[in-house]
Amino acid sequence: MSRAVRVTVTGEVQGVGFRAHAAQEAVRLEVTGWVRNEPDGSVGAHVEGPAEAVEEMVAWLRSGPPSARVARADVVDADPERRSSFEVRY
């Protein structure tokens, strides 16, 4: 069963390599979607794929790379975008 979610990550998450690390993790987990910095200082992500892999990606987003300090990760179900890869958006 597949799942799609939108995640908003807050804390010290910009300027610490969060997006690049998230993209590496997404490739490892074989999920698709995107990650981007938001104007309010948060990081937004859209993740879709097998439910178990999406849950693993969400768990990773809740902690981020070692250089990040995640305060919160809000997750909501989303409509699938049916992307073929995971990309870093600028």
Q: Which of 19, 36, 82, 89 is catalytic?
A: 19
Residue 19 annotated among the catalytic residues of the structure: yes
Specify the DSSP element, H or E, that contains 58. Answer: helix 51-61
4 CB burial (10 A radius; 0-12, 13-18, 19+): buried
Residue 62 annotated among the catalytic residues of the structure: no
Whole-prediction pTM value? 0.96
DSSP, collapsed to helix, strand or coil, labels residue 31 as coil
Q: Which of 3, 28, 36, 37 is catalytic?
A: 37
In the chain, the domains with their CATH numbers are: 2-79 (3.30.70.100)
pLDDT tens-place string over residues 75-87: 999 999 999 999 9
DSSP state of 14: S
pLDDT tens-place string over residues 9-66: 999 999 999 999 999 999 999 999 999 999 999 999 999 999 999 999 999 999 999 9
